[in-house]
C-alpha cells in the first residue's frame, strides 16, 4: 500500500526533502544524480535527463530549446539560499540544472516519467491500474508520445470493449470460480472511464462505459466514484481539472489541504455532469424497456410452430394415438380419451416453460430479485441458460423445465440474435448515435423513447399481461 508523505515534512521516506530544492517544493524519488534538467510540476520536482525526454517527444525538445540560451552555472557548495541561481530569462538553476515549469498534475508527471524510464506494464489487470493509465494517457496525448498512448488506448478498450465478444470475455474475467461477480476488482469505476474519455476525446469506449454504469441503481449512479489517490499528498493542479468534451463531464473537488486516501482520510468524489447523468438514466430506462418488450413478443411467438409436444397433441386429438399403421384400433374410448388428455398436458409444457422464463426475468427487470435489473445482455444469457438448468424446484424435488428440443433450439437462437441487437442499440440508448432507423421488435427506438415520456420511468408491470405471485416466486 502506498503511503503518502506529509507535504511539509515528507517524513515517510518515499519523497525525501533535499537541501538543494526550495522548501516550498517536494523532491520526488525520480531524481537522478546525473540528470541535467529539473521539471517542476505544482509542488513536485523531478531531476531527469533531457535526452530521454527529447528522444520520445518533439514537444519536450522544443520546450527545452526555448529556454536553453543564457543559462548561468550555479555556485557549488554554498548554503541553501545560495544554491539557486537564475539564468538570463529569470529561470531558477537547481544543482547546476535549469528548472522547467510544466503545468501538469504532479501525479500525472510522476506516472509518465516512470513509464518512460521503467516501461509501462500491467502483468495482471486490476482496477488500481487506472490511476497510472489515465495519467500516462493524458500526458502522452499532450506531448505526442505515440507508443505510450497506443498502449493506454489498447488497455482502455480492453476494459471497456467495442465488440460483444470482448464484452463477454470481460464479464467472464470479472467472475471468480465460485460465480461471484466482482467487476470493481478488475476494472475501474465507469464514472472515471467516462470522464477520461470525455476529457481526451475517446468516443469508442463511451458506449460500454455508459452501459457499465447504467447497471448500478440510480442512487449509486448519482453518488459517483472516489478519485484515485494522488502520488503526492500536497495540493496540485490536477485538483482543479474537469473533463471537457462534447458531453461536458465535470468533477466535484475536495477542498485543498484535506487528507487523502491512505493518508488518514478519503479522496474526493467524482461525479458526472448533469447531461451525462441524464444519458445514463435514460439509457437505463431503455435497457429495461427492451427486455419487457422482448419478453412480451416472445410469449406471442412461442411455443414454436414446430413444437414437438404441440404436434403430438394435434395427432392425438385427431385419433392417431394408439393406432398401429396398417392395423386396427385396439384403444377403447376411455383409453383414447386418457391418451389425448396426456398429450394435451404435455403440449402445455413448452407454454408453461416460456411463462416461467418470462416471470423470472421480470423479477430481475422490475427489481424484485437482487442483481442486475438493467443489464439486458446478462438477463438474456440467463434466459437462455434457464432451458438447460436442472436446479429448479417443484416443491418436492429439483427439476428442469419440460421444454421440447425444437423450442429450446429456437429460443437460444432468438436470444443470441437479441443480444447482438442490444449491443448495436447501446450507443443509441445513451445518445451517442442517432437511432431513428434502428428497429427494436415491432417499434423503433424513437417510439420506445417516446413511450417513456419526458424522463418518466417505466411503470412496474406496464405492458405485461401476466400476474406474478411474488410469495410463490420467492419460495
- Write down the pLDDT at residue 432: 95
321-335, 429-443, 458-472: least confident range? 458-472
pLDDT tens sequence across 173-215 = 998 888 888 888 999 999 999 999 999 999 999 999 999 999 9
Same domain (yes/no): 197, 241: yes
6's grid cell:
506529509
Q: Which of 65, 85, 103 is the last residue of a domain?
A: 103
- Write down the pLDDT at residue 80: 31
Any domain includes 64: yes
The total number of structural domains in the chain stands at 3
Residue among 134, 171, 150 at smallest CA distance from 423 = 171
Same domain (yes/no): 86, 206: no
Any domain includes 310: yes
- Write down the pLDDT at residue 128: 92
The answer, yes or no, to whether residue 132 has pLDDT greater than 90, is yes
Same domain (yes/no): 434, 293: yes
pLDDT tens sequence across 422-451 = 999 999 999 998 764 344 443 444 554 454
Quote the percentage of the chain above a pLDDT of 90: 40
Any domain includes 334: no
Q: Which structural domain range is residue 355 located in?
A: 285-319+339-474
CB 358 within 8 A of CB 295: yes
Any domain includes 398: yes
Residue among 146, 128, 248 at smallest CA distance from 197 = 248
Same domain (yes/no): 347, 414: yes
Same domain (yes/no): 228, 314: no
The larger pLDDT score, comparing residue 44 to residue 333, is at 44
Query: What is the pLDDT averaged over residues 254-260?
Result: 35
CB 344 within 8 A of CB 317: yes
Element at 276 (helix H, strand E) = helix 274-301
Same domain (yes/no): 99, 114: no
The larger pLDDT score, comparing residue 170 to residue 242, is at 170
The answer, yes or no, to whether residue 259 has pLDDT greater than 80, is no
Any domain includes 402: yes
- Write down the pLDDT at residue 65: 83
Quote the percentage of the chain above a pLDDT of 70: 61
Query: What is the pLDDT averaged over residues 376-399?
Result: 78
CA distance 307 to 415: 17
Query: What is the pLDDT averaged over residues 320-336?
Result: 44
Any domain includes 139: yes
- Quote the mean pLDDT of the chain: 73
Q: What does 386-449 look like in DSSP terms, one character per residue?
A: TTT---EE-SSSEE-----HHHHHHHHHHHHHHHHHHHHHHHHHTTSS--TT-EETTEEHHHHH
The answer, yes or no, to whether residue 69 has pLDDT greater than 90, is no
- Write down the pLDDT at residue 322: 42
Cis peptide before 303 (omega within 30 of 0): yes
Same domain (yes/no): 305, 429: yes
Query: What is the pLDDT averaged over residues 380-392?
Result: 79
| Cα dihedral 63→66→68→71 (10° resolution) | -120
The answer, yes or no, to whether residue 319 has pLDDT greater than 60, is no
Distances (CA, A) of 233 to 11, 139, 174, 360: 12, 20, 32, 50
- Mean pLDDT: which of 10-19, 186-195, 384-393 is highest? 186-195
Same domain (yes/no): 98, 125: no
Same domain (yes/no): 149, 241: yes
Place of cell 476529457: 199
Any domain includes 2: no
Any domain includes 3: no
Same domain (yes/no): 77, 166: no
The answer, yes or no, to whether residue 462 has pLDDT greater than 80, is no
Same domain (yes/no): 99, 190: no
- Write down the pLDDT at residue 348: 74
| Burial class for 28, CB neighbours closer than 10 Å (0-12, 13-18, 19+) | buried
CB 25 within 8 A of CB 99: no
The larger pLDDT score, comparing residue 278 to residue 3, is at 278
Place of cell 504532479: 106
- Write down the pLDDT at residue 257: 33
Q: What does 459-474 look like in DSSP terms, one character per residue?
A: PTTTT------HHHHH
CB 40 within 8 A of CB 25: yes
Same domain (yes/no): 32, 45: yes
pLDDT tens sequence across 169-182 = 999 999 888 888 88
Amino acid at each position: 500500500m502506498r503511503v503518502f508523505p506529509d507535504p511539509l515534512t515528507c517524513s515517510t521516506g518515499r519523497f525525501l526533502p533535499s537541501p538543494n530544492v526550495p522548501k516550498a517544493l517536494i523532491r520526488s524519488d525520480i531524481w537522478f544524480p546525473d540528470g541535467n534538467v529539473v521539471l517542476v510540476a505544482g509542488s513536485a520536482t523531478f531531476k531527469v535527463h533531457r535526452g530521454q525526454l527529447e528522444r520520445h517527444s518533439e514537444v519536450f525538445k522544443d520546450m527545452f530549446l526555448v529556454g536553453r540560451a543564457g543559462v548561468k552555472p550555479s555556485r557549488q557548495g554554498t548554503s541553501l539560499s545560495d544554491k539557486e541561481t537564475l539564468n538570463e530569462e529569470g529561470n531558477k538553476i537547481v544543482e547546476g540544472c535549469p528548472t522547467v515549469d510544466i503545468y501538469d498534475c504532479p501525479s500525472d508527471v510522476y506516472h509518465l516519467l516512470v513509464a518512460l524510464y521503467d516501461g509501462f506494464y500491467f502483468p495482471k489487470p486490476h482496477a488500481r491500474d487506472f490511476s497510472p493509465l489515465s495519467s500516462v494517457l493524458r500526458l502522452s496525448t499532450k506531448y505526442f508520445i505515440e507508443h505510450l498512448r497506443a498502449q493506454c488506448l489498447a488497455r482502455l478498450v480492453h476494459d471497456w470493449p467495442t465488440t460483444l465478444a470482448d464484452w463477454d470475455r470481460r464479464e467472464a474475467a470479472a467472475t471468480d470460480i465460485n460465480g461471484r461477480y466482482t467487476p470493481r476488482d478488475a476494472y475501474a469505476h465507469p464514472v472515471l472511464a467516462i470522464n477520461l474519455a470525455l476529457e481526451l476525446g475517446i468516443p469508442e469506449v463511451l458506449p460500454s462505459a455508459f452501459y457499465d454504469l447504467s447497471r448500478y441503481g440510480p442512487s449509486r449512479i448519482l453518488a459517483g466514484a472516489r478519485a484515485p489517490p494522488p502520488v503526492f499528498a500536497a495540493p496540485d493542479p490536477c485538483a482543479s481539472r474537469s473533463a471537457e468534451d462534447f458531453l461536458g463531464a465535470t468533477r466535484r473537488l475536495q477542498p485543498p489541504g484535506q487528507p487523502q486516501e491512505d493518508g488518514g482520510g478519503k479522496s474526493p468524489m467524482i461525479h458526472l455532469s448533469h447531461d451525462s447523468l441524464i444519458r445514463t438514466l435514460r439509457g437505463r430506462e431503455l435497457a429495461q424497456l427492451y427486455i419487457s418488450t422482448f419478453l412480451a413478443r416472445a410469449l406471442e411467438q412461442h411455443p414454436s410452430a414446430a413444437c414437438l409436444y404441440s404436434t403430438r397433441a394435434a395427432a392425438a386429438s385427431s385419433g392417431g394415438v394408439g393406432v398401429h399403421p396398417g392395423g386396427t384400433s385396439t384403444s377403447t374410448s376411455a383409453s383414447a380419451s386418457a391418451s389425448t388428455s396426456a398429450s394435451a398436458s404435455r403440449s402445455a409444457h413448452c407454454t408453461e416453460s416460456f411463462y416461467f422464463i418470462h416471470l423470472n426475468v421480470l423479477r430481475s427487470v422490475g427489481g424484485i430479485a437482487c442483481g442486475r435489473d438493467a443489464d439486458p445482455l446478462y438477463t438474456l444469457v440467463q434466459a437462455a441458460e434457464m432451458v438447460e438448468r436442472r436446479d429448479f424446484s417443484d416443491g418436492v424435488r429439483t427439476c428442469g423445465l419440460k421444454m421440447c428440443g425444437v423450442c429450446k433450439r429456437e429460443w437460444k437462437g432468438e436470444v443470441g440474435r437479441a443480444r447482438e441487437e442490444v449491443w448495436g442499440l447501446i450507443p443509441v440508448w445513451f445518445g451517442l448515435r442517432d437511432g431513428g432507423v434502428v428497429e427494436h421488435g415491432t417499434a423503433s427506438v424513437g417510439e420506445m423513447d417516446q413511450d417513456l415520456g419526458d424522463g418518466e420511468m417505466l411503470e412496474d408491470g406496464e405492458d405485461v399481461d401476466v400476474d406474478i405471485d411474488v410469495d410463490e416466486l420467492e419460495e
